[in-house]
Structure 1
Amino acid sequence: MLISMYKLRKSESLPVHIVEQHNDVVPFIHRAIASKLLPFHDIAIIHLDSHPDLLLPINLDADTVFKPQELNEALSIENWLLPLTYAKHLNHIVWVKPPWAHQIQASEQSFTIGKCLESGKVRLSCKENYFLTDGLFCPPQELKDSCEVKLTVVEMLPEKWYDTDTSCTSSSAPQAQRRLNDGHQQEESQAVFSTPERWAVLLKDQLLDKPYILDVDLDFFSTANPFKNLLGHEEERALRNLYHYPALQDTSDETVITFTKTREKQINELENIFTELEINLGTKRNHPCKVSVDDLTAMDVIGKSSLDIKQKDDLVLLCNSLLLNPAYREIPFIQLHDFGCTLDDTELPHHISTPPEVHALHSAFKKVLEVLPRPTVVTISRSSTDGYCPVETVDVYQNDVLKLLENLYGSLKISEDYE
């Protein structure tokens, strides 16, 4: 209904906007809405990526979503999609994941997103572990100005694709070699969302006469975990211990709420600690000296923290490694927080694709696009300068995607916003 009331401007050439950091597509989407290329409400997005990008900035005030400049400053690559749903621009997100991505299982579900009555932050009602481990859950009855979001997770699984999972760091991923596209081995409901020939037809019916964004992160074709091998074994063990959390025993609202509050407090506390360490110790790298537990606990943010003795020892180990070990001296302390936040039960995927694998994914992508309606706009993220997409192949992936779009849809109106 809202779409029909909103007269859209049609573009003969397909608008394609290319950025480096994925969250930089948000201003383009806002401009496309303002210029009536896209409607204000009820947009779908087809999001091809090795990562869901479905988190939220944990301290994002709901009101900030409606202040574009402040919002853009608050967003990063892992959390740019959901604020657009709270603003009611997007109402259907389709994450198309490659075979090595295991953060969320292939499925379809709906959840509520809104403004938390207690904190004023943006929160959501989904109990997927992906959201829970970032402290984002809130019961729907405690959300105001809320709306429903449909999340469809599908797998781009080329024919005859084999995956040993040897290059994926997901602890929940199966280890034995298996043929992934054998629908007889899966639950029927999941098989639908893991078979491109089947889910593309379902999406076609849902997208008919509906404006949608085709969003492609080039790390969909090959991805690296930029934190892999950032630290040595002992340093990573220490960091993992700092960010450890007890497993949920059940998913009742009461249990999940308690877990969420504890996890949110833990993440905020650790972010404050590493921010303070950067301020106090980051400037001493040119004249480093060994620090002790007493040195660290003299800082209020650490002395008054909930860290136990063992965790403080782990923090000392990390500080001395960054200060004294030349191999780690260029690592900012706050980067340890970014790394620590990825150390949950499903870590960042790492899969450097072979040329045949890239070709297979590209061919499967082409077949899906041939089924789907023409997108309204296209956004492309290179993700190469932050280490997620291999820098030596990103231009090849980009050119191949542009050629495919041109072959399918004719002339393109390309805008580039990267150096």
Structure 2
Amino acid sequence: MADRNIGEPITPTEEQLPEFEELQEFEPPEEAVANVIEYVQSVAIPGGSEGENPQFNGHNFQSARQSKQIPICIVNENQDIIEFVHDMINKKFFPEHGSTLIHVDANPDLLAPNTMPADESFDHSMLYLQHNYDRWILPNCYNGIFKKIIWVRPPWSEHIREDSVTFKVGKHKESSYINVDCKQNYFIAECLWTTSDNLTDAKNITLDCITLGNELSYENDCPEYWRAVLGENQTVPTVLDIDLEFFITENPYLFLYENTIVYELLRELFVFIRPTSQTDEAVTETVEMRSEQFKEIETYFNHLTQHHKLPDPEDIPPSPIYEKVAEIMAELERHGHDLKDVDWDLLYDCGHSFGDHEHPHHVTNSAELDLLFKSFENFLDEFYEPPSIITIARSDLEGYAEIEDRLLELLNSKFNCAVPIVYDQGNAVGVDSDSTCVSEDVDERGTDELEEFLEFLTLQTGEVDNSDASNANLALPEGQDDEEDVSEL
């Protein structure tokens, strides 16, 4: 090299200049990621948009059956499982219409939101705001997702007769709310019944009721009936929804304002008088009386919330309901409760739970729990086909972890289940295979997801982590080489 002065810039000769390839045009990051996601979905779900089954509205049912693992979603509140179901529908993993819900719970959860127009059942964002723990199934029958409901209950729950019934769910012509034409007292007590002539856009729904753990009532389970019910469902995509309150049932209202008789007074205030017969005239009269009862109670409770006292008797003629509300006020004040601090909305919700049957309460002991699990295991053995999706609701049950662990162990022994994911206020996180606690080393699907995904795309070596695909039951097809996938991406 020729001599040069220190600090003098180096000027390369033409022979020393490196050759550069012509600059390539790259897709914008958003389009690149979208294309990658589209590709991953096309290889993850066999058949993609082809081979659609018209019976199930584009859902490739056969591909779901052949997928490697069943997705499991765990939520705190039972109504939140429907967000996961909608997510599976959007991924074309589950059909938009005509499926079955096997609802294992101490409560049927078959009511409808009191103030939600039926059409909002098709608007998911509005539906999530309106439905709650006992009013989430019917809207998803009206919007067509579920055509059959199998309620599996413990022996201490008696809301609905153990039977099979087909009825219509539709939009009431006058109120535009969801109503049914089923004359079970469960629906009548909530003023949900109307004649089929008053329903528009009605769908036929089949409801089967099955009781497990009958030995607790000194009776026997009926596997023959289980087989008959499940046999009718063997070719239909199914959600197996399990609320842990099936095993231990707590009445959240039972201990309101302890050391008072407020709970008993609310039962008397909201008492339901059954129809004298099953004729349309008798049931209509009962629904009208029940509706007036609710309206009067709601008027007084709203007045108490705003003014902390009942309306002046001179302004509103006293009635039996007025006098019973006054008795509740006196009971609360007698035990030192300031009426300004009383949650009258909560008391109204408590009273509303007194339908034909009140909210069940049963603290299960160890021996009873063993029997229930054995009965539930026998029930699972009668499945002709595994469920498409499994969901679990904790329902804020204290000490749920032990029951949840035991349940997951049982489900994994019967089906090929994916690692469960937990939906917590809209975020999905993984669950350790050895624990129901959220795993510290599992990434949240939050704001860092895109960054981590792009980092994954830069990997040149190593095996593909397909855990997320397994969680969503979107495993790669058998025989497809992982390294080839990375190179193609």
TM normalised by structure 2 equals 0.70
The one of 221, 225, 232 aligned to 2:251: 225
**Structure 1: gaps of 5 or more residues:** 164-178, 182-193, 282-294
- Pair 1:180-2:219 in alignment: yes
The one of 75, 93, 102 aligned to 1:19: 75
Corresponding position of 1:406: 412
- Which residue type is aligned with residue 381 of structure 1? A
Deviations 1:47-93 (A, max 9, x none): 11011111112232111111111111111111111111100110000
Corresponding position of 2:28: none
- Pair 1:377-2:433 in alignment: no
Deviation at 1:224, TM superposition (A): 1.7
The one of 279, 283, 286 aligned to 1:252: 279
Q: Is the 1:47–1:96 Cα contact (8 Å) retained in structure 2?
A: yes
- Pair 1:364-2:375 in alignment: yes
Work out which of the two has the higher radius of gyration on C-alpha atoms and give 1 or 2: 2
Corresponding position of 2:365: 354
**Runs ≥4 residues deviating over 6 A:** 327-330
Corresponding position of 1:109: 165
**Structure 2: gaps of 5 or more residues:** 1-53, 426-489
- Pair 1:325-2:331 in alignment: no
Q: How many residues align?
A: 366
- Which residue type is aligned with residue 375 of structure 1? P
Deviation at 1:4, TM superposition (A): 7.0
Q: Is the 2:173–2:198 Cα contact (8 Å) retained in structure 1?
A: yes
Deviations 1:153-197 (A, max 9, x none): 011135xx233xxxxxxxxxxxxxxx222xxxxxxxxxxxx51x2
Q: 1:61 to 1:211 in 2, by over 3 A?
A: same
Q: Is the 1:321–1:328 Cα contact (8 Å) retained in structure 2?
A: no
Corresponding position of 1:338: 349
- Which residue type is aligned with residue 192 of structure 2? L
- Mapped to 2, the partners of 1:279 and 1:375 lie a distance apart of 49
Deviations 1:252-301 (A, max 9, x none): 112212221231232244234324423433xxxxxxxxxxxxx42159xx
Deviations 1:310-342 (A, max 9, x none): 432332332354466347876511111111112
Alignment of 1:197-236 (within 5 A): 197-231=223-257, 234-236=261-263
SS in 1 for 2:407: helix
SS in 2 for 1:148: strand
Q: Is the 1:113–1:146 Cα contact (8 Å) retained in structure 2?
A: yes
Deviation at 1:234, TM superposition (A): 4.2
SS in 2 for 1:417: strand
- Mapped to 1, the partners of 2:122 and 2:100 lie a distance apart of 19
- Mapped to 1, the partners of 2:284 and 2:367 lie a distance apart of 46
Corresponding position of 2:194: 138
SS in 1 for 2:310: helix
- Pair 1:93-2:146 in alignment: no
TM normalised by structure 1 equals 0.81
Q: 1:308 to 1:247 in 2, by over 3 A?
A: farther
Corresponding position of 1:277: 304
- Mapped to 2, the partners of 1:205 and 1:211 lie a distance apart of 13
- Mapped to 2, the partners of 1:12 and 1:272 lie a distance apart of 55
- Which residue type is aligned with residue 59 of structure 2? Y
- Mapped to 2, the partners of 1:59 and 1:33 lie a distance apart of 26
The one of 73, 76, 80 aligned to 2:132: 76
Corresponding position of 1:30: 86
Deviation at 1:308, TM superposition (A): 3.6
Corresponding position of 1:297: 311
Q: 1:99 to 1:234 in 2, by over 3 A?
A: closer
What is the percentage of aligned positions where both structures have the same residue?
26
Q: Is the 1:58–1:135 Cα contact (8 Å) retained in structure 2?
A: no
- Mapped to 2, the partners of 1:268 and 1:132 lie a distance apart of 16
- Which residue type is aligned with residue 357 of structure 1? E
SS in 2 for 1:127: coil
Q: Highest relative contact order (Cα 8 Å, sep 6+), 1 or 2?
A: 1
Q: 1:200 to 1:311 in 2, by over 3 A?
A: closer
Deviations 1:335-386 (A, max 9, x none): 11111112233112111111111111111111221220211001111012xx
Q: Is the 1:271–1:334 Cα contact (8 Å) retained in structure 2?
A: no
Corresponding position of 2:403: 397
The one of 205, 216, 237 aligned to 1:162: 216
SS in 2 for 1:162: helix
Corresponding position of 1:168: none
